Amino acid sequence: MQYFIINGETVSAQDASLKVTDLGLLRGYAVFDYFRVLKRTPLFLDDYLARFENSVRHLGYTLPVSQVTLKAQVFELIRNNQIENAGIQLLLTGGYSEDGFTPAEPNLVLLARPLKSQNAAHYTEGTGLITYQYRRDIPEAKTTNYAVAIHLLPKQKEFGAIDVLYHNGEILYETARSNIFVLRRDGTLTTPQRNVLPGVTRKHVLQIAKGVTEVNETDVQLSDLEDAKEVFITSSLKGVMPITHIDGRPVADGKVGSLSKTLRERFEAHVEEYLSAAVK
Ligand SMILES: Cc1ncc(COP(=O)(O)O)c(C=O)c1O
């Protein structure tokens, strides 16, 4: 990618930089969002822009430009980089603070990066999670602090896991980079609703799932994992990804479940429909 946008200015990606006094760097005071561009179309763009604005509000700011202007900047980034497929990141930081603590004029950055392809075997064979007792700060906002998850990468690797599942010892929250769904033994599909990031993929999967099975946005107990029929996670990059082991123990029979498979297929079809309907 050759160009990024910083505070409305197109700059070369090589030279794109913020000063070291930015609160995002000094204190982790920053929010972001991330979505895919597929076939030149930013997928579910309005959902991501609305969530980004909400995250910005949680930080105590208002978006420094209108939604219309931000949207125009997204399309400018796509045009300038001649993007066919990519990941776009929107970032708002706490700005150059005089005392290193008080929020200042925020910096708004748009970056584009090549899409990281997923391991196909994770969809056909499933993958794993490790659990960890932790709740993200300001969980309704997409903050940039992923320190706990990054710190746990070696343990994650040791267990052949793709992500870390956060919980409070009783109920589940989300994984470090996805939302979680649990198909309970009674056949109800459940997903945590409190203290989680309102995932855009989660929202679309919930809509799709309603036509397929009974769905409940509710507290999901850590103990529900022990006799769960199926578990899957959802995220912008991973879509619907089946989880077949948690902390090294198999989920049900350790195979990809049929609901996870059906919802993944329907979600992929839903994405294709969105792309076909989008005005280029
Ligand atoms: C903490 C957290 N929860 C959930 C998600 C999934 O959200 P989405 O489906 O919008 O990507 C993410 C995505 O990165 C995340 O960082």
Please state the pTM of the whole predicted model. 0.97
The predicted structure's pLDDT at residue 279 = 66
Q: Does residue 215 surpass a pLDDT of 90?
A: yes
Ligand 1 centroid to Cα of residue 63, in Å, is 20
Read off the pLDDT of residues 239-261 as tens digits, 9 standing for 90 and up. Answer: 999 999 999 999 999 999 999 99
Span 21-39, pLDDT tens digits: 999 999 999 999 999 999 9
- The DSSP code sequence of 86-138 is EEEEEEEE--B-SSSSS--SPEEEEEEEPPPPP-HHHHHT-EEEEEEE---SS
Rounded distance between C-alpha atoms, residue 242 and residue 224, angstroms: 16
pLDDT at 148: 98
Residue position matching structure tokens 């997928």 = 43
Tell me what the pLDDT averaged over the chain comes to: 97
Nearest CA to ligand 1 atom 13: 177
Cβ count within 10 A of residue 41: 19
Residue 280 banded pLDDT, cuts 50, 70, 90: low
Residue nearest to atom 16 of ligand 1 (CA): 177
Work out the average pLDDT over 104-111.
98
Q: Are strands 127-133 and 161-167 parallel, antiparallel or unpaired?
A: parallel
Report residues whose beta carbon is within 6 angstroms of any ligand 1 atom. 136, 142, 174, 177-179, 197, 199-202, 234-236
Inter-residue contact 31 to 145 (CB < 8 Å) = no
